[in-house]
Amino acid sequence: MKSRLLLATLALAVSITAFAADFVPLFDGKTLTGWKNPYDWGQIDIVNGEIHLTGEKKFFVVTEKSYGDFIFEGDILLPEGQANSGFMFRAHVEKNKVYGYQAEVDGDAKRKWSGGLYDEGRRMWFISPIKGNKESEDAFRARAGDAFKRNDWNTYRIECRGKHLKIFVNGVLTTDVEDDKDATGVIAIQHHGEKGQTYKFRNLKIQELK
């Protein structure tokens, strides 16, 4: 019995290790290799293994590679005061423009929409939650609760499998929907445009699914 339990434990450990090994870093902690700024503005600095974005107008820094089905994880720290950001995924890039799916990072402590699904530049708050729909907004806040920590680092997880989209904030499932608007696109991180504010990102990684 003990030997079978030991074998099962070892098998589980190997499985977990193999799963973890499937994640690859999107940021090497030292350079912006694999990333680019499609805007004519925006300051990007690398400080102590973090990407720091500073600017006076909204901009996004995007991956050079596109992704379809995947699991993405990343940490973000919002600046104090008025702030808003997001992790774009399956997004589209043009000169001085990025649009598409965004996992919301909400600096408004009263609204509490962190982990919502926003459609940047298109449908906006169309599903999780639906802006202006009290039932949808209340249901979202009930799901998200106090998962987001306003003045601390927050870990986001985004899962895309076909049209099935999930967003987690610090391990809490905040969005679980189906939508087939986009099947592939870039990952992006956002500065919302507050003058002089610095947005910080770290531990960006992805596991591509087959």
The string of pLDDT tens digits covering residues 96-141 is 999 999 999 999 999 999 999 999 999 999 999 999 999 999 999 9
Q: What per-residue confidence (pLDDT) applies to 9?
A: 43
Q: What per-residue confidence (pLDDT) applies to 11?
A: 44
The string of pLDDT tens digits covering residues 154-182 is 999 999 999 999 999 999 999 999 999 99
Average pLDDT value for residue range 72-83: 96
Among residues of the chain, what percentage have pLDDT more than 70? 90
Q: What per-residue confidence (pLDDT) applies to 123?
A: 98
Spatial separation of the C-alpha atoms in residues 30 and 86, rounded to whole Å: 22
Given the structure tokens 């690398």, which residue do they identify?
46
The string of pLDDT tens digits covering residues 134-157 is 999 999 999 999 999 999 999 999
- pTM score of the predicted model: 0.89
Q: What per-residue confidence (pLDDT) applies to 12?
A: 42
Spatial separation of the C-alpha atoms in residues 167 and 165, rounded to whole Å: 7
SS (HEC) of 140-199: HHHHHCCCCCCCCCEEEEEEEECCEEEEEECCEEEEEEECCCCCCEEEEEEECCCCCCEE
Q: What is the DSSP string of the chain?
A: -HHHHHHHHHHHHHHHHHHHHT-EES--SS--TTEE--SS--EEEEETTEEEEE-SS-EEEEESS-BSSEEEEEEEEPPSSS-EEEEEEEEEEETTEEEEEEEEEE--TTT--TT-EEEETTTEEEEESBTT-HHHHHHHHHHHTT-S-TTS-EEEEEEEETTEEEEEETTEEEEEEE--S-S-BEEEEEE---TT-EEEEEEEEEEE--
